[in-house]
A and B are shown apart, each in its own frame.
Chain A
Amino acid sequence: MRANSLTRDTALRNSSAQGARHKEIVEGITETVQPERDLTAVKVGQRAIISAIKSCPKDLLHKLVSMGLVAGTEVRVTQRGFFGSPINIHLLGSVLSLRSAEAAHIQVQPLL
């Protein structure tokens, strides 16, 4: 788990220092973290860390960030509906249900 917590801390450090969306992958730890993809690519049961939210309509953006979908938050996909939608994710103590079209805006770094 050490590698994961390092990734997260660095993500936090970067986000608080620059305060902007970023897509940098931590140097030297690339082999334990998969490259950035969107949330729809994360398998059921897999965890991921959010890195950014891309090209999203403003009202959806506000909803997503106020629910905790910001850079640095760890999420875990728990269920998917028929034909891949909706996607249930567990984060910060609760479960959110999102359509795949909405989840596609969320860039994550899947773990392991």
Chain B
Amino acid sequence: MKSSDTSPPQTPQNPSSTSTQSIPTIALVGNPNCGKTTLFNSLTGSNYKVANYPGVTVEKKTGALSLLNNISAHLVDLPGTYALSGASLDEKIVTQVLQGNLQGESTPTLIVAVVDATNIERNLFLISELIDARLPLIIALNMMDAAEDQGIKVYSEILARSLDVPVIPIIARSKKGLEDLKLSIARDLLHPALSRKTLAWLPESHPKAPLISKISFLDSHSELDPELITTIATLRYTWIRSVASKAIRMESSEPPSLSRLDTILTSKIWGLPIFFGVLALIFQGIFLWAQAPMNLISGLVESTSLWLLHVLPAGILTSLLAEGIVPGVGNVIVFVPQIAILFFFIGILEDSGYLSRAAFLLDNFMKRFGLQGRAFIPLLSSMACAVPGILATRTIPSKIDRLTTILVAPLMGCSARLPVYTVLIAATIPPIYVGGWLSLQAMVLLGMYLLGISGACVMAWLFHKILRRKESCFFVMEMPPIRKPVGRVVLRNVYDSVLSFLRNATTVILACSIIIWFLASFPKPSAQHQGNPVEISFAGRMGKLIEPAIRPLGFNWELGFSIIASFPAREVFVTSLSTVLNVGQDDGDDHRSLINRLRDKNQEGSFPLATSLALMVFYVFACQCMSTLAVCRRETGSWRWTLGMFGYMTALAYFAALLTYQISIRLL
């Protein structure tokens, strides 16, 4: 594939991958926001797998592409990058995969580079580097409809001739031009060709020409002199400008002005109020719209439990199934509607481009806390689940910024905290509507999230101050155009997220349910024992052990054990509390009964509002998620930071809950 006569020495390809590969691999590259992922979805029919590249947490998407004549190929969606020559992790992964240097990844036979037709000049920078790297290439010129709307006319044949690369116009969103693209791919797989325009941007007479022609364009240029980097980029863009001037005609000489919507969204007057309005809407939605589906699911769980008790012979296994597993897992599944709504909103915000506007509004503010505008998306994702949030921090180039963001991400909220908050709020906060429409319960929920966010700000500022060394942390972000979110993409995202939540539920939580059931059921009390049989079980003993430490927080052994039990996964708290309080012995096991039981205890004084608040505050700050710790370990590469995260959060949770309880018990 690579002509080796005049090219600079390049790292040899991984021999085993090319010789044993029977199905060719095609790599999709391109700038972020150029529609590469939409094209990938369209070509693979949403039939793809998501994994990680070995050793790093860069996402890898692979799928099968079927071309005509029964030829099929592996299609790999590589991370979006603006260049190949930078030092960022994404660029490193892309260049390694393209060279075939990544362990276990086959060398791509062909590259399909997606170019945004409304943004051709900047997109051509990457193309120019790909040509210089002597890689077989096809260009998919995407977003032709948007280009037409903006009065941009692109002559793809002229472009193809200037670059010596096939150019296929497509509209990935509406699946136009895909047959032509597949045809071109099939043709190139059989007869691969390299562009002859290598180094076309470098005038032969240029004084630095001999030096530049020896540079490898598949490696990072971070070793090069900054003047050389600038020279190369300037020359490239000069060439790109001449290519573009021949192939593109603008119907209007005026560049498109900022749309009215955009101006309002980022305005100094309206921007922030709109942002907070959006947040309030999301929380209102999560709390209120999920009620009906949640009632449905909890009803189903209860019936299943009762049916099992009815149908199966009495015994330990039946008890395990009907009173341990079904309610245990069921209590968590009941929150899927709320999680789905949360992920749905985040998907819409991201796909519509609003998140970038929010990052713009918040960056100056976030800077003061040692964070940056780009940390906003990972932190916002963390409000649904810290695991993808932490994974998303790879878009933050600076190590210090990234570490700070990872350390505070778990404080942002978490869909698993919702079960805990919901149960406690429903049991102890009255369903009053302020002003007739604003739910007090929803506002308390919002308050907990805001508390977590404030905690994150304070801790981030602290971490940044402590960790700050001489390293550049920069922001530079592209603002994608505002557009209507594609329903298909958003819903697929919700589906993927809910699926992974359920997968977690059926593994970690299942295991925990069984363990908790066991700990709470044995040893069994003797016939003379009065009161709660759980009290003398292993669970009870563990709770009693830590009771002295947690009594100042207003917690007793029942809560104590449930907190311990929920350290692997927060949702387990609800399960555990149900079991420990012996809920479900009478009327079937579901969280409604737990709420009723807690409400009763609240009325009778054994579960005061102060305890409930302290408990909620504890959960705002405590790090109770094995998955989060696992991802943190992987991303930071060190146990030190992972254990540090666990440690600081536990300490914070303890003292915040202590403060809350001691103050509330005196005021309320």
Of the stretches B182-190, B225-233, B435-443, B457-465, the one at the interface is B225-233
Tell me whether B234 and A15 are in contact (CB under 8 A): yes
**Closest A residue to B152 using CB positions:** A93
Are B86 and A96 within 8 A (Cβ)?
A: no
A63 and B86: CB pair below 8 A? yes
> Which of B125, B208, B474, B478 is A60 in contact with, Cβ under 8 Å?
B474
**With A59-B87, A85-B364, A97-B360 as given contacts, are A92 and B82 in contact (CB-CB < 8 Å)?**
no
The contact of B360 among A19, A56, A65, A88, by CB within 8 Å, is A88
8 Å CB interface, A27-54 against B = 53
Q: Output the least CB separation between A103 and chain B (Å).
A: 10
Interface size range of chain A in the complex: 35 or more
Q: B238 to chain A: which residues have CB within 8 Å?
A: 12, 15-16, 72
Contact among B122, B233, B476 for A94, CB-based, below 8 A: B122
Which residues of chain B come closer than 8 Å to A65, judged between CB atoms?
229-230, 233-234
- Chain A residue nearest to B238 (CB atoms) is A16
Residue of B nearest to A50 (CB): B234
Check A82 against B226 for contact (C-beta < 8 Å). no
- With a CB–CB cut-off of 8 A, which chain A residues contact B85? 62, 66
Partner of A73, one of B227, B237, B359, B365: B237
Task: Name A71's closest neighbour in chain B (CB-CB).
Answer: B234
The docked-state distance in angstroms from the alpha carbon of A58 to that of B365 is 26
Determine whether the beta carbon of B361 is less than 8 Å from that of A81. Answer: yes
Per-position contact with B for A87-112: 1 when CB-CB < 8 Å, else 0? 01011111111110010000000000
- Interface segment among B51-59, B113-121, B555-563, B568-576: the answer is B113-121
Tell me whether B229 and A62 are in contact (CB under 8 A).
yes
Q: A-facing mask of B344-358, CB < 8 A → 1, else 0?
A: 000000000000100
B362: min CB distance to chain A, Å = 9
> Is B397 engaged at the interface, CB distance under 8 Å to the other chain?
yes
Contact A60 B360 (CB under 8 A): no
A92 CA to B124 CA, complexed, in Å:
11
Contact A92 B231 (CB under 8 A): no
Q: Among the listed B82, B119, B222, B479, which residue makes an inter-chain contact with A66, where contact means beta carbons less than 8 Å apart?
A: B82
Identify which of B222, B237, B258, B266 contacts A62 (C-beta below 8 A). Answer: B222
Given contacts A59-B472, A81-B360, A88-B479, contact A67 B258 (CB under 8 A): no
* Contact call A66/B83, Cβ cutoff below 8 A: yes
Q: Are B363 and A66 in contact (CB under 8 A)?
A: no
A70 touches B121 (CB 8 A): no
Contact B258 A61, beta carbon cutoff 8 Å: no
Q: Is B226 a contact partner of A56 (Cβ separation < 8 A)?
A: yes
Docked pose: A73 CA to B238 CA in angstroms = 9
Number of chain B residues whose Cβ lies closer than 8 Å to a Cβ of chain A: 51
**In this assembly, does B206 line the interface, its C-beta being within 8 Å of a C-beta of chain A?**
yes
- A96–B479 touching, CB < 8 Å: yes
A64-82 residues at the B interface, CB under 8 angstroms:
64-68, 70-73, 76, 78-79, 81-82
Whole-angstrom distance from the CB of B85 to the nearest CB of chain A?
Answer: 7
Q: Is there an interface contact between B234 and A102, defined as CB atoms closer than 8 Å?
A: no
Q: A57-B472, A65-B233, A82-B268 are in contact. Are A16 and B203 (CB under 8 A)?
A: yes
B residues 230-246 with Cβ under 8 Å of A?
230-231, 233-235, 237-238, 241
Q: How far is the CA of A18 from the CA of B156 in the complex (A)?
A: 32
CA distance A98 to B367 in the complex (A): 13
B668 interface contact, C-beta 8 A: no
Q: How would residues 170 to 206 of chain B score, 1 for a CB under 8 Å from any chain A CB and 0 otherwise?
A: 0000000000000000000000000000000001001
Interface readout for B104-128 with A: 1 if CB under 8 Å, 0 if not? 0000000000001011111001000
Name which of A66, A68, A70 has the most chain B CB atoms within 10 A of its CB. Answer: A66
Report B-chain residues with C-beta under 8 Å of the C-beta of A96: 476-479
A97 touches B373 (CB 8 A): yes
Asked whether A79 lies within 8 Å of B122 as measured between CB atoms, the reply is no
A16: B residues at CB distance < 8 A: 203, 234-235, 238
Residues of B within 8 A of A12 (CB): 238, 241
Distance between Cα atoms of A19 and B206 in the complex (Å): 8
B12 near A: Cβ within 8 Å?
no
Give Cα A107–Cα B477 distance, bound, in whole angstroms: 19
> Which of A70, A78, A82, A98 interacts with B476 by CB under 8 Å?
A98
Contact across chains for B479 and A58 when beta carbons are under 8 A apart: no
How many angstroms from the CA of A102 to the CA of B364 in the assembled complex? Answer: 13
Q: How far is the CA of A62 from the CA of B610 in the complex (A)?
A: 55
Question: B207: CB under 8 A from chain A?
Answer: yes
B313 at the binding interface (Cβ < 8 Å): no
The answer to whether B475 touches A86 (Cβ under 8 A) is yes
Smallest distance from the beta carbon of B525 to chain A beta carbons, Å? Answer: 64
Min Cβ gap A21→B in Å is 6
Nearest-neighbour CB distance to chain B for A2, whole angstroms, equals: 13
| A55 (CB) vs chain B CBs: closest residue | B226
Top-5 shortest CB links A-B? A65-B233, A93-B119, A66-B83, A57-B472, A95-B479
Known: A79-B360, A88-B266. 10 other contacts (CB 8 A): A19-B234, A64-B476, A65-B229, A85-B363, A86-B373, A92-B119, A92-B121, A94-B479, A98-B475, A99-B363
Which residues in B have some Cβ–Cβ distance to A below 8 Å? 82-83, 85-87, 116, 118-122, 125, 203, 206-208, 221-222, 226-227, 229-231, 233-235, 237-238, 241, 255, 258, 263, 266, 268, 356, 359-361, 363-365, 367, 373, 397, 472, 474-479
What are 28 contact pairs spanning A and B, CB under 8 A?
A: A12-B238, A12-B241, A16-B234, A16-B238, A59-B87, A60-B476, A61-B230, A64-B476, A67-B82, A67-B478, A68-B237, A72-B237, A72-B241, A76-B255, A79-B258, A81-B268, A82-B268, A82-B361, A86-B373, A88-B266, A90-B255, A93-B116, A93-B119, A95-B478, A97-B476, A98-B475, A102-B474, A102-B476
